[in-house]
Structure 1
Amino acid sequence: MLNFVNTLVIIQNLFYDKTVVINIFANFYHLISTETVQSPWKPTNQIIKVAIKATDTVSENKDLPPANLVFLVDVSGSMNDSDKLELAKSSLAMLAKQLRKQDTISLITYAGNTEVVLPATSGDQTSKILSAINKLAVEGSTNGEAAIKLAYAQARENFKKYGINRILMMTDGDFNVGVSDVDEMLDIIRRGRNGGVSLSTFGFGQGNYNDYMMEQVADNGNYSYIDNLSEAKKVLIDEMRATFNTVAKDVKVQVGFNPNTVKEWRLIGYENRVLATEDFNNDKVDAGKLGAGKSVVALFEITPVGQKGWLDESRYQSNTKANNDNKNNELGFLKIRYKAPNGDTSQLVSVPIGKTMSKPSLDLQFAMAVVGFGELLS
């Protein structure tokens, strides 16, 4: 999702060809769509929606590839609330009942000590798994030693070459996993991802919640906030394929705006995921990934040529000439790069963004309402 609340206004005066590259969490596209509408807060401006819907490669949860899941559960004192550890246990128990014989489950807790409570166990041993989950209790201390490293070691030990290999971290955001430095934590996650092990983080409760760390982890993994059992069911059961099954990785979106039609632009959300333009074609630069069937939306606000923007007029803006009359009908050009889940070389897809204005779809109306609220908050 876009980081609406912490939106920073990014304005670029485009009197030359400029592009923005976003490291978004998306996967192999099934549908790319763009939509251009009038801005609800500045009628002379326009909103461009770029949406990508990922392919869902299986139709039923039971058809998912074999899963190697490692539950990493925070049992420190800060988790001693009904909406924290108890809700996390209920969520895990719900998921455990969906597991199959070909799946393996490990359970690691961290607090005063880091402990493998349940070594890799076949998913059809439901009673054994539920018993281990039910025994989880708050320990009080908050030193997780090397919990995150142990979780990755456990995932590698039971690695499924053609399956799903994922760590599920349950925490209130305190992140006492033996790694206090954000950069070190992200380095561990990236190295694990490059080795085929993904991370899903599930946040619980409030008060001790570490928004900054959660956001950094989310930018390099897969993140959900669970505040009740209905949300747990939605994320872990109803959207299991999207949560666990990656269909592509390192997806990048590049938007180049046409200086003959666009005077200024700003990206709304994703500001901390903007990559250097040259990194778009560099397959060594990591980007994110998302599960099957997920949709990703990015919004841009533009000021058309001839309208008053936020910035003073450029001395050279009026000297911009079109190289091709056909391109005058475009606001910009969209490029998407992605890799297969086990691939190292990216593929390229590109489409023009037209000038055609339309009545906003219901999805875009909702997105703009969220954006507007976030802008007011910030």
Structure 2
Amino acid sequence: MMVLGVTSKKFTSSQRTLPDKPLTNPAKQEIIMKPRFITLVCLLLFALVADAQYYFRGEVKDAAGVGLALVRIRVHSSNSFYQSGSTGGFGLPSAKVSDTVSFFLHGYDEKTVVLSSNEFNTVELKPSSAISNPKRKLISVTKDKVQERNSFGIANGETYSEQIENSFNYAAEYPSVGFALNVDKASYSNIRRFINMKSAVPKDAVRIEEMLNYFPQRYKAPELGKEFYTESQLTDCPWNPMDRLLFLQLHARKINYDSLPPSNFVFLVDVSGSMDLPNRLPLLQTALRMMVQNLRAIDTMAIMVYGGTVGTVLQPTGGNEKEKIMKVIDSLAAGGDTPGEAAIRQAYRLAQSQFIKGGNNRVILATDGDFNVGESSEEALMQLITQKQQTGIYLTCLGVGMGNYKDSKLEVLAKKGNGNFAYLDNIPEAEKVLVKELMQTLYVVVDDAYLNASFNARQIKKYRLIGFDNRKDVLADSASILEGGEIGTGHIVTAVFEVEMNSPYNTEEELATAELGYQTVNTKEKQTETYRLTNNYKSLYTVDSNYRFSAAVAMFGLMLKQSPYLKVYSWESLINLLNTCVNSNDYWQQEMLQLVIKAKEIYKPVKERRRWFTKKKKAKEEIILF
């Protein structure tokens, strides 16, 4: 509980002693001045205490009886402001035996009550309509345009949010498009899992912006005092020779490792029966062991588990006690049902009890997403996380598993919980997310980041945002709004537009302007920056290889989605493009080339695939006979 009371001792005239005669010696005068100064300070303190001789104790809770931290509290008589503690407790000084007090917390209705100093006060805040009826979150939106609402199929056994692919807009009619920025990368590693299993990828599992996020690129630092470095590039479109691709890259400020704030991590690990497979709980244990090696003494880590019951197996423990943490990780075992909703509530409560003001406070949920006890619908989970995000605690979701993997639920949780989302399909991926890219994954530099691009109709006839496709149910909800995302330290966001140019066009005139909006993590002040996207056209095979590789990634995603916007394409043309830009020293780029080669065989027409398998089988039989 935050203690804000003041105690003091009253001084009487008999306790204040002054000399009988004036002293003229400077040293003696100093002796006189000291007690006079002390007396003055004591009188001022007495005056302050006289104004605050009463004390209001109590707690502020939500409707479920859970304490609410960091509630802003105003005492009306003195116009003084305070905050509730980590469990919702408060202590308020006042000059009155009873006083009018107001309570404020983002996401809750303001409440004004009269508190009494003679009793323990309990104040309940009710969620505002933003929490009780949370608005769905758009990833992108074209101003004034009514969106299409077609649908795709759902993969058997696994759930994916149905998406609506962004279409072309005429710049003269709809010049502006806005989209949320984030650091999610789950889609690519999930795609890799399907292809390595020699299976076609569900169309709704393909999120091109996450595929672009996945690959490390050459980092360029922003100017001093800036949060982002930005650059744009116009080049050819490999799947439509009549169009161009317009790239916009944003490089987020990188925080020095030694300057990172202390972290309060609460890992919430699914140990239910569905996690009892090598690519689930054992994989998560390996990932956690690797991450623990990077914990600092100033960081704390707690582990909660849910499977049958919910419990804390590791109380908040300093990063210097690695052996203790490792023993708990090694002891985890799977079994039981999946009470995900109750577990999430308790994990936030534990993180809130250890809340570090100005620190990195985060719940990390590791699961296959198969909640089967308590509230399990996406709607109910969205309402729960919308409420919890008000605490200032971020949420990271680590997905694992196959067959019953619930991508749609984890995507909702991550996007509503001011957090991010990754999918772990193997040990190298676990190392990439929680070791090599730990800072990008878990340390945020800006919140609520979005970008609004406005196209110059004199230069651009039509444009289409690639990726950032909205969920079908979000577009169907008339109350949906565009909300920004969270960007991690040193992360590079790549946005791609397919554009049809007007002909002729003026090379001196800008193609578009982009307005970047975000709020700083500590001050929560809203900031905007504006950039000009110029016509700096270079052909696809002379442009920087990073942009050529990004074009190949986007093309790969469109082919997996079987997008109707592909005009001229083939697996051979994609492989040829990759061969011109894949860095031989980059493991992840090399891996994608091999993945595309595997996908080519999976997506061959049925007749061609049968001929290939027959030929391969015949060659194998000949080798055996030989």
TM-score, normalised with respect to structure 1: 0.85
Alpha-carbon distance between aligned partners in 1 of 2:360 and 2:471, rounded to the nearest angstrom: 26
Q: From 105, 114, 119, give the equivalent of 2:310.
A: 114
Corresponding position of 1:287 = 484
Corresponding position of 1:228 = 426
Structure 1 residue 13 corresponds to structure 2 residue 170: yes
Structure 1 residue 149 corresponds to structure 2 residue 332: no
Corresponding position of 1:183 = 379
Alpha-carbon distance between aligned partners in 2 of 1:89 and 1:287, rounded to the nearest angstrom: 32
CA deviation profile, 1:295-341 (whole Å, cap 9, x unmatched)? 1111110111249xxxxxxxxxxxxxxxxx99971111111011110
Cα deviation, residue 17, structure 1: 5.7
Corresponding position of 1:299 = 496
Bigger-Rg structure (1/2)? 2
CA deviation profile, 1:72-103 (whole Å, cap 9, x unmatched)? 00011111111110110111122223222221
Alpha-carbon distance between aligned partners in 2 of 1:343 and 1:187, rounded to the nearest angstrom: 26
Counterpart amino acid of 1:67?
S
Q: From 448, 461, 467, give the equivalent of 1:263.
A: 461
In structure 2, the gaps of 5 or more residues are 1-138, 141-159, 184-221, 476-480, 562-626
8 Å Cα contact 1:192-1:198 kept in structure 2: no
Q: From 300, 315, 320, give the equivalent of 1:104.
A: 300
- Secondary structure of 1:365's counterpart equals helix
- Secondary structure of 2:529's counterpart equals strand
- Secondary structure of 1:72's counterpart equals strand
Structure 1 residue 349 corresponds to structure 2 residue 529: yes
Aligned length: 351
Corresponding position of 2:549 = 366
Across the aligned residues of Structure 1 and Structure 2, the Cα RMSD in angstroms comes to 2.9
Alpha-carbon distance between aligned partners in 1 of 2:545 and 2:164, rounded to the nearest angstrom: 22
Would the alpha carbon gap of residues 100 and 178 (structure 1) be closer, same or farther in structure 2, given more than 3 Å must change?
farther
8 Å Cα contact 1:35-1:50 kept in structure 2: yes
- Secondary structure of 1:263's counterpart equals strand
CA deviation profile, 1:221-274 (whole Å, cap 9, x unmatched)? 211111222222221122221111111111110000111111111111002289
Alpha-carbon distance between aligned partners in 2 of 1:192 and 1:347, rounded to the nearest angstrom: 25
Alpha-carbon distance between aligned partners in 2 of 1:247 and 1:208, rounded to the nearest angstrom: 34
8 Å Cα contact 1:7-1:374 kept in structure 2: no
Would the alpha carbon gap of residues 17 and 171 (structure 1) be closer, same or farther in structure 2, given more than 3 Å must change?
closer
Alpha-carbon distance between aligned partners in 1 of 2:454 and 2:342, rounded to the nearest angstrom: 44
Which structure shows the bigger proportion of residues in helix conformation? Answer: 2
Counterpart amino acid of 1:15?
A
- Secondary structure of 1:149's counterpart equals helix
- Secondary structure of 1:368's counterpart equals helix
Would the alpha carbon gap of residues 273 and 195 (structure 1) be closer, same or farther in structure 2, given more than 3 Å must change?
farther
Say which structure, 1 or 2, has more relative contact order (CA 8 Å, 6+ apart). Answer: 1
Alpha-carbon distance between aligned partners in 2 of 1:375 and 1:326, rounded to the nearest angstrom: 31
Counterpart amino acid of 2:512?
G
8 Å Cα contact 1:339-1:345 kept in structure 2: yes
8 Å Cα contact 2:397-2:421 kept in structure 1: yes
Would the alpha carbon gap of residues 273 and 144 (structure 1) be closer, same or farther in structure 2, given more than 3 Å must change?
closer
- Secondary structure of 1:73's counterpart equals strand
In structure 1, the gaps of 5 or more residues are 277-283, 308-324
Structure 1 residue 160 corresponds to structure 2 residue 356: yes
Alpha-carbon distance between aligned partners in 1 of 2:459 and 2:408, rounded to the nearest angstrom: 38
Would the alpha carbon gap of residues 145 and 375 (structure 1) be closer, same or farther in structure 2, given more than 3 Å must change?
closer
8 Å Cα contact 2:514-2:531 kept in structure 1: yes
Identity of aligned residues (%): 33
Structure 1 residue 375 corresponds to structure 2 residue 558: yes
Would the alpha carbon gap of residues 177 and 236 (structure 1) be closer, same or farther in structure 2, given more than 3 Å must change?
farther
Cα deviation, residue 19, structure 1: 0.6
Q: From 264, 282, 296, give the equivalent of 1:68.
A: 264
